[in-house]
Amino acid sequence: MRDFALEIEQRKRDGLYRSRRLVSGPQKPELVADGAELLSFCSNDYLGLANHPGNVATLRDALSETGLGGAASHLVCGHHDAHHQLEQRLAAFTRRSSALFFSTGYMANMGVISALAGRGDTIFSDRLNHASIIDGCILSRARVRRYGHGDVAALERMLAETSGHKLVVTDGVFSMDGDIAPLKELARVCKAHDALLVVDDAHGIGVLGPQGRGSVLEAGLSEDEVPVLIGTLGKAVGTSGAFVAGPEVLIDYLVQKARTYIYTTAMPPAVALASCASIDLIEQDDARRSHLQALIARFRSGAQQLGYQLMPSLTPIQPIMVGDNHAALALSRALEEQGILVTAIRPPTVPEGEARLRVTLSAAHSEEQLDRLLQALAQCHSLLPEQAAQESVAV
């Protein structure tokens, strides 16, 4: 029998052990975690809508009309008109023909990728794609070829030498680096080599593009150029669930084939109505995105002046590169002692030797709160490994 306790102890020695925090109350910058009041910079609530009073009121009011549970799968009797309303709203918001609502982003990627490719087909996946994309590729049983991160030239060579049905899948915004995929170039090579392009814009929806419509529309790309768009609602939208949007025939095909859609209970309808309300807010409130972009610029300037090594990211995801697992944990703990919550990200979430602190900013943060983070970072710079500190000076 496998010695699970031994493996856990090894993870602790390697600086890879993970533990859960107990958060009390709503998600917001100032929260209570494990009984302590902390200023959080590690949430994906990029627009501060997870606790928006209007969204909370919509959810509360909807419960009396829809009840709580979804009660059945969509193809039995669980497809409520609230779900249908959300799908229509998502299609309009993303400027697409149709949309399909999933329970989670992980389920969306697993279901969509495994439905659109199978045995005998080939999937091309960016080397830094999210785990849900990787697992969707594995589940499909298609041949999987990984190309170097953002390396369109390498991808084009692979596509040119491959026949049959081809699927190219990429994150729109990469969750651990914060950079944006070269979507225009990817769309070009996919069109040239008859490959179906799938973009998971989990971290772009709400943040990037006109009225927060995402990285695909920020790049000026149409449904014809990017046929499959996947997005989540649990990040900038501030609610729960996920979706895929694209041509009507493709969405109908997924209703028939996507196992993670077919074989699961529908999400609570009231959550769908709260998501519609949140999308309305996103569409109408450019001021939130403007404030967020100002915070990003302020953080990057301040952190680099302090000597921290950042990634080339212009999104709310701002990794501080550390390298060593234990050093990343030590830096995270030192910040927490000053009342700041930023988690350490370690392998296998990121490559070996690239442990980091993943700072995420929200429109709900104030400039004063950001300055608290920078002041805490100033006190903790000495904890960086020597190599990271030397590299950071040159950034």
User: Any binding-site annotation on 106?
Assistant: yes
Among residues 79, 166, 203, 291, which one is catalytic? Answer: 203
Amino acid at 144: V
* 308 among annotated binding-site residues: no
Backbone angles phi and psi of 353, in degrees to 5: 80, 5
Contact indicator for 259, 74 with CB cutoff of 8 Å: no
CA distance 315 to 363: 12
Helix (H, G, I), strand (E, B) or coil at 22: coil
Q: Is there a catalytic annotation at residue 80?
A: no
Q: Which amino acid is at 14?
A: D
The catalytic position among 43, 175, 215, 392 is 175
**84 a catalytic residue:** no
- Is 147 known as a binding-site position? no
What are the tokens at 230? 């996947």
Preceding amide of 348 cis, omega within 30: yes
Fill in the DSSP letter of residue 314.
-
Residue 331: closest CA among 192, 340, 262 = 340
Structure-block tokens of residue 254 = 């997924």
Residue 175 marked ligand-binding: yes
> Is 365 annotated as a binding-site member?
no
Catalytic annotation, pick one of 235, 275, 332, 392: 235
Instruction: Tell me whether residue 203 is annotated as binding.
Output: yes
Q: Binding site annotation covers 326?
A: no
- Could you confirm whether 203 is annotated as catalytic? yes
Q: Which residue has the tokens 């009121």?
A: 57
- The reply, when asked if residue 300 is annotated as ligand binding, is no
Is 47 buried (19+), middle (13-18) or exposed (0-12) by CB count in 10 A?
buried
Residue stretches of the annotated binding site for pyridoxal 5'-phosphate: 105-106, 175, 203, 232
Residue stretches of the annotated binding site: 18, 105-106, 130, 175, 203, 232, 349
Q: Which residues are catalytic?
A: 175, 203, 235
Residue stretches of the annotated binding site for substrate: 18, 130, 349
